Amino acid sequence: MGENAVTQKALAQNKEIKRSLVLIVIAIVLGVLLGFAGSHHGWTLGGSSALPGFALAVIAAFVVQWLAYIPAAIAQTDRYFDATGALTYISVTILLLVLSPGLDPRSIILGALVIVWAARLGSFLFMRNRRSGRDDRFDEIKTSKIRFLGVWTVQGLWVSLTAAAAWISITSSERAPLDWTTWVGLAIWVVGFGIEVTADLQKNRFKADPGNKGKFIQSGLWSVSRHPNYFGEILLWVGVLVIALPALQGWQWIALLSPVFVIVLLTRVSGIPLLEEKAQRKWGDDPEYQAYRASTSVLVPLPKSRRGSPSPSNTN
Task: Tell me what pLDDT residue 249 has.
Answer: 93
| Residue 60 maps to a domain | yes
Please report which helix (H) or strand (E) contains residue 230, including its range.
helix 228-244
Domain membership of residue 84 as a residue range: 10-295
Residue 304 lies in a domain: no
Over residues 173-223, the pLDDT tens digits come to 988 899 999 999 999 999 999 999 999 999 999 998 999 998 999 999 999
Average pLDDT, the chain: 89
Taking alpha carbons only, the member of 111, 152, 158 closest to residue 262 is 158
Q: What is the mean pLDDT of residues 167-172?
A: 97
| Per-residue pLDDT, 42 | 92
Establish if 316 belongs to a structural domain.
Answer: no
In a domain, 270, yes or no: yes
On the question of pLDDT at 27 being above 80, the answer is yes
In a domain, 180, yes or no: yes
Residue 313 lies in a domain: no
In the predicted model, is pLDDT for residue 273 greater than 70? yes
pLDDT at 184: 98
Q: Does residue 258 or residue 78 have the better pLDDT?
A: 258
In a domain? residue 186: yes
Q: What is the largest CA-CA distance in the chain?
A: 72
- How confident is the model over 276-294, as a mean pLDDT? 92
Cα(18)–Cα(23) distance, rounded to whole angstroms?
9
pLDDT confidence of residue 203:
94
Confidence of residue 14 (pLDDT cuts 50, 70, 90): confident
pTM above 0.85, yes or no: yes
* pLDDT of the residue at 312: 37
Q: First-to-last CA distance in the chain?
A: 45
Window from 75-89, 118-132, 166-180, 280-294 with minimum mean pLDDT: 118-132
What is the tally of structural domains in the chain? 1
Instruction: For residue 52, report the phi and psi dihedrals to the nearest 5 degrees.
Output: -65, 150
Q: With 80 as the cut, is the pLDDT of residue 316 above it?
A: no
pLDDT tens across 47-89, in order? 656 899 999 999 999 999 999 999 999 988 888 888 999 999 9
Give the pLDDT band of residue 2 (cuts 50, 70, 90).
low
Contacts by residues 178-181 (CB-CB < 8 Å, ≥ 24 positions apart): 178/105, 178/106, 178/109, 179/246, 181/242, 181/243, 181/245, 181/246
**Is 308 part of any domain?**
no
In this model, does residue 6 exceed pLDDT 60? Answer: no
* Residue 131 neighbours by CB distance under 10 Å: 10
- pLDDT per position as a tens digit, 95-119: 999 999 889 999 999 999 999 999 9
